[in-house]
């Protein structure tokens, strides 16, 4: 039997997701616009923090997705060096250094509003010089295949973040990438894989940690300038930084 394709699977996944999802204050139930939080996201955080990779990591990149709030809190409590962005990367990359969040404020700092009190903007050059290497990357996902591909939203911000970090040499093809979602978001469907799609090594759900089949390589070409959506170069500070490194000499 042929697998269902991603386009056909997406509305079915979102129908199931709505049964467990928590609406977003800005996007409500528009799953095409945001990564939803859901019942059991705290168990995702527990499963992720139990992995040997996390325990051995000092520097963790975490996307600003709703379902990663508890995980961000755990990483702050565990004194990890955290890099994160805001939605759309329009304010750049931020550092949450160990000890920068006062004791008792970890939950507040895990939220997208609260974290702004404690994070500090950091350029890609500073990351390369001061941080040197990111030990693991964690992203939410609209839908994930066991083959190792995220799909469903399509804005491509995580792919851009990977490309930026890869260009500066702070991640490589061996850097583990985790995608976190509800069990209903894990589906084995046929997905059109694009040259910039960042393959996933592990999927974390409330019930399990899945090693993907790693059927696709991670991108190694950096920013594909000709494929950027209109306005991205002008709006995203790290993209501007990389562009200037090439064209402002």
Whether residue 114 has pLDDT greater than 80: yes
For 60-66, what is the mean pLDDT?
A: 96
pLDDT category at 154 given cuts 50, 70, 90 is low
> Which residues on adjacent β-strands are paired with residue 138?
62, 178
Mean pLDDT across 176-186: 97
Residue 168 in tokens = 């500066």
- What does the block give as tokens for 97? 């250094």
Q: For residue 234, is pLDDT > 50?
A: yes
Q: Which residues of 129-167 are buried (b: 16+ CB within 10 A; e: fewer)?
A: eebeebbbbbbbbbbbbbbbbbbbbeebbbbbbbbbbbb
Check pLDDT > 70 for residue 149. yes
Q: How confident is the model at residue 22 (pLDDT cuts 50, 70, 90)?
A: very high
Q: pLDDT at position 30, please?
A: 78
Q: Is the pLDDT of residue 152 over 60?
A: yes
- pLDDT > 90: percent of the chain: 81
Decide if pLDDT at 249 tops 90.
no
**Residues 212, 153 contacting (CB under 8 angstroms):** no
Q: How many CB atoms lie within 10 A of CB 220?
A: 11
Backbone angles phi, psi at 99, to 5 degrees: 90, -5
Rounded distance, CA 169 to CA 128, Å?
7
Of 9-18, 61-70, 91-100, 204-213, the one with minimum mean pLDDT is 9-18
Residue 165 exposure: Cα atoms within 13 Å on the Cβ side: 33
CB neighbourhood size of 26 (10 A): 10
Whether 82 contacts 98, CB under 8 Å: no
Report the C-alpha gap between 186 and 40 in whole angstroms.
Answer: 15
**What single-letter DSSP state applies at residue 87?**
G
pLDDT at 246 over 90: no
* Comparison of pLDDT for 11 and 176, the residue scoring more: 176
* Residue 238 CB burial class (10 angstroms; 0-12, 13-18, ≥19): buried
Top-level class of domain 6-247: alpha beta
Q: Is the pLDDT of residue 2 over 60?
A: no
Residue 79 CB: number of other CB atoms within 10 A? 12
In the three-class reduction of DSSP (H, G, I as helix; E, B as strand; rest coil), residue 242 is classed as helix
Angle, in degrees to the nearest 10, between helices 41-49 and 69-77: 40
pLDDT in tens, 129-143: 999 999 999 999 999
Average pLDDT, the chain: 93
Average pLDDT over residues 96-111: 96
Q: Which of 202, 198, 195 is nearest to 150 (CA)?
A: 198
pLDDT value of residue 1: 43
């Amino acid at each position: 039997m042929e697998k269902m394709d991603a386009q056909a699977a997406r509305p079915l996944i979102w129908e199931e997701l709505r049964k467990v999802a928590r609406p977003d204050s800005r996007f409500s139930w528009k799953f095409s616009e945001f990564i939803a939080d859901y019942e059991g996201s705290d168990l995702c955080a527990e499963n992720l923090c139990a992995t040997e990779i996390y325990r051995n990591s000092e520097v963790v990149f975490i996307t600003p997705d709703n379902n990663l709030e508890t995980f961000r809190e755990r990483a702050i409590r565990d004194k990890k060096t955290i890099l994160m962005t805001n939605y759309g990367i329009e304010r750049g990359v931020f550092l949450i250094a160990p000890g920068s969040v006062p004791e008792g404020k970890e939950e507040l700092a895990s939220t997208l509003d609260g974290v702004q009190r404690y994070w500090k903007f950091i350029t890609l050059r500073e990351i390369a010089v001061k941080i040197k290497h990111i030990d693991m990357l964690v992203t939410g996902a609209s839908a994930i295949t066991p083959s190792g591909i995220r799909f469903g939203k399509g804005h491509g911000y995580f792919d851009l973040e990977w490309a930026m970090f890869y260009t500066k040499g702070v991640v490589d093809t061996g850097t583990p990438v985790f995608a976190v979602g509800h069990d209903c978001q894990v589906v084995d469907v046929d997905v059109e894989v694009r040259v910039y799609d960042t393959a996933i090594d592990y999927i974390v759900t409330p019930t399990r940690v899945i090693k993907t089949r790693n059927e696709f390589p991670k991108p190694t070409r950096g920013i594909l300038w000709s494929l950027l959506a209109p306005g991205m170069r002008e709006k995203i500070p790290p993209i501007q930084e990389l562009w200037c490194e090439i064209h402002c000499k």
